[in-house]
Chain A
Amino acid sequence: MSSYLLDIQNLSVEVEGTVILENINLSIPYSESYVLFGPNGSGKSTLLKAIMGFPSYKVVNGKIIFDGKDITNLPTSERVRMGISIAYQHPPEIKGIKLIDIFKFCLKKKPEEDLEPEHYELIDKLKLRSFLNRNINVGFSGGERKRSEIVQMLLLKPKLILLDEPDSGVDIESLRLISQEIQKYITETGSSALIVTHQGEILNHITTGRACVLLDSTIHCYKNSQEIFNTIKDVGFAKCIECQERGVKIND
């Protein structure tokens, strides 16, 4: 059996006829958190959505292996069942569906069933008790949305967590709260994570190992996440392109 929880091989993804990702190779071992950097529009969110299996993100080449199984052609709900969970950067508003409803979906509970005390504990920790009967995301602030995303994600008890820009558009208190819960979950369960970040702020709160940079539809290099982030902060993504041109191999 492979030592990787997620093993993406030669993956190319098309959205509405345009190739967004080309020949992506990315392997995340069990119990490790990886960071994904990349400039705007490089396809970071597309990669997460392709891993989730959204129908409009068409895999035209390559495959995705999760926990030893080829999931390339599985529907989203099946991938969720197997243990992949995503926290959105911009979750949609849905009128008529309350926050409590969506928590029940995550827990496979019927509408008339109540949550368990441990669930309320998590909800209270992330300060969402007073939002339970509100329509999902309608009128929620940036921080409230992130907190609700993390509760949903954790209720699903995933093996792999995908975080799409958890540190953008969020107040510092909310970021501290969500990071604490994510780190606690990762430490307790030995789950893996793939974290997309622009600001890099999340790296101050969550222990991450390697990082990769998505540029020109392809993943370029892996290295220590903090080191890469510092380079990007100082000189931008140009250095990554340089490395690529020099032929620096991944997993150095």
Chain B
Amino acid sequence: MIKPKDAKLTSLRDLPHEILKSIAETGVIENENERSASFLHMDQTTVYDKINEMFQDQIIMMDTKEALKKFDWLEQYRWKLVDPDKDEFTKKVADDWSGGYFFWIQKGAKITFPLQSCLLITENRLEQRVHNIIIADEGSEAHIITGCVQHADVDKADHIGISEIYVKDNAELHFSMIHHWSENTLVRPRSAIEVGNNAIFISNYLSLHPVKNMQMYPTAFNNGVNSKSSFNSIIFADKQSMVDIGSKVILNGEGSSADIISRGISKRKSKIYARGKLVANTPHCKGHLECLGLLLGGETMMAAIPELEVNVEGAELSHEAAVGKIADEEIQYLMTRGLSEEEATSAIIRGFMDTRILGLPKDLAAEVNQYMYEMDFGA
């Protein structure tokens, strides 16, 4: 039985400097004035949750276990979108888990600062099992940043995370997830999203660090009339990373629409499977899938696997996919503008990973761009 430790923080600043630095890269910052709420689940314990005074009446946030005790009705939202018997990983979390975050954005609340949540692993050989539930209530607007980070001292760990997200009628939820794992981490997120009438769900995913083995295939159910989902992801797979990642949108609501955009870069014996699936179950729906990949050097692999399933007449689904290497001509061109071959290659890679496709909050976008500017892409 997983038991939480008795170790609450009074502020994110209580964390050691090196942890603050690595969680900042994922958008989780110590300056809580710029965030509407902050949540930290460290190893198997929720050690911090605090709502900015400005947003006290607009957000309810606590550990999922605590929330289930407090709100009887919440049980209906648990294991509703994700099937506990789906696979060995969901079964493990159904069997025993350490908590997770519960965010409830109140009806009509416009949360102008992002909420931030961090799932942190500091214990070697830990298997972290969390279950997160988000409810963006009717007419609300919010941006959640969630960073998943492994401490540099941890050699090996597993992370299994269930996330069930409900975007109610007329609500708009932006969900930016940044992963910072390591070469020995096994990662299995299992996420599903329900999008209501005229509601918008936008997911941004970024992973710039190696990971041993990562597999996820979040599914959005666009059940509402005119509901809209977007999944944007950028993956840089390095040092024998094995990444199998995709997004699926089931278009059930009349007038619903979806975009899936991904950029993948594979380097040093890494493999990327970039999947995407759009399913049209209603006549007036639209969807587009775009998947671009870049291979850096030999012994790398990327498979782009787009799928379109149209079950009714009148739906408009399309996709485009391309995987290749950087054109020599582009490198040469930049070299005639004074860049070395390495600088030219890095500039093209940074451009390819265009973070503008992710609608990140300004401070986070600047942080990510700065980090990418310092990254060594030398092929």
Residues of A bordering B, CB below 8 Å: 52, 54-56, 75-77, 80-81, 85-86, 88, 91-92, 94-97, 101-102, 105-106, 108, 111, 152, 156
Report 25 cross-chain contacts, Cβ distance below 8 Å, ordered by A residue: A56-B328, A75-B340, A75-B341, A76-B336, A77-B335, A77-B343, A80-B336, A80-B337, A85-B336, A86-B336, A92-B327, A92-B333, A94-B333, A94-B348, A95-B352, A96-B352, A96-B353, A97-B348, A102-B337, A105-B334, A105-B338, A105-B347, A106-B337, A111-B369, A111-B373
Q: Given A75-B335, A97-B348, A97-B351, are A92 and B330 also a contact pair (CB < 8 Å)?
A: yes
User: With A and B bound together, what is the CA distance between A56 and B354 in angstroms?
Assistant: 29
Where chain A touches its partner, the secondary structure class is mixed
Q: How far is the CB of A186 from chain B (nearest CB, A)?
A: 19
User: With A and B bound together, what is the CA distance between A97 and B336 in angstroms?
Assistant: 15
| Minimum CB distance partner of A152 in chain B | B337
Chain B residues 349-372 with CB under 8 Å of chain A are 350-354, 369
Chain A residues with CB below 8 A from B350, complex form: 96
With A80-B336, A95-B351 already in contact, 4 other A-B pairs whose C-beta atoms are closer than 8 Å: A76-B335, A92-B333, A96-B351, A105-B338
- Structural contact, B328 and A156, CB atoms closer than 8 A: no
- Structural contact, B337 and A92, CB atoms closer than 8 A: no
The answer to whether the Cβ of B339 comes within 8 Å of any Cβ in the partner chain is yes
Chain A residues with CB below 8 A from B341, complex form: 75, 77
User: With A and B bound together, what is the CA distance between A105 and B351 in angstroms?
Assistant: 14
- Structural contact, A81 and B354, CB atoms closer than 8 A: no
Q: Given A97-B348, A105-B347, are A80 and B330 also a contact pair (CB < 8 Å)?
A: no
User: With A and B bound together, what is the CA distance between A80 and B333 in angstroms?
Assistant: 12
User: With A and B bound together, what is the CA distance between A76 and B369 in angstroms?
Assistant: 28
Pairs A-B, 5 closest by C-beta atoms: A96-B351, A76-B335, A97-B351, A96-B354, A105-B337
Interface size, B (range): 20 to 34
Q: How far is the CB of B362 from chain A (nearest CB, A)?
A: 14
Where chain B touches its partner, the secondary structure class is helix
Q: How far is the CB of B355 from chain A (nearest CB, A)?
A: 10
Chain A residues with CB below 8 A from B352, complex form: 95-96
- Structural contact, A54 and B332, CB atoms closer than 8 A: yes
Q: How far is the CB of A39 from chain B (nearest CB, A)?
A: 24
User: With A and B bound together, what is the CA distance between A76 and B336 in angstroms?
Assistant: 6
- Structural contact, A102 and B334, CB atoms closer than 8 A: yes
User: With A and B bound together, what is the CA distance between A55 and B332 in angstroms?
Assistant: 8
The answer to whether the Cβ of B153 comes within 8 Å of any Cβ in the partner chain is no
B337, B340, B351 — most chain A CB neighbours (10 Å)? B337
Chain A residues with CB below 8 A from B340, complex form: 75, 77
Chain B residues with CB below 8 A from A111, complex form: 369, 373
Chain A residues with CB below 8 A from B332, complex form: 54-55, 76
Chain B residues with CB below 8 A from A106, complex form: 337-338
The answer to whether the Cβ of B329 comes within 8 Å of any Cβ in the partner chain is yes
- Structural contact, B337 and A81, CB atoms closer than 8 A: no
- Structural contact, B337 and A96, CB atoms closer than 8 A: no
User: With A and B bound together, what is the CA distance between A118 and B335 in angstroms?
Assistant: 24
User: With A and B bound together, what is the CA distance between A182 and B15 in angstroms?
Assistant: 59
| Minimum CB distance partner of A49 in chain B | B332
Chain B residues with CB below 8 A from A92, complex form: 327, 329-330, 333
User: With A and B bound together, what is the CA distance between A156 and B334 in angstroms?
Assistant: 12
Q: How far is the CB of A174 from chain B (nearest CB, A)?
A: 20
- Structural contact, A88 and B333, CB atoms closer than 8 A: yes
Q: How far is the CB of A132 from chain B (nearest CB, A)?
A: 15
Chain B residues with CB below 8 A from A102, complex form: 334, 337
Q: How far is the CB of A171 from chain B (nearest CB, A)?
A: 23
Chain B residues with CB below 8 A from A54, complex form: 332
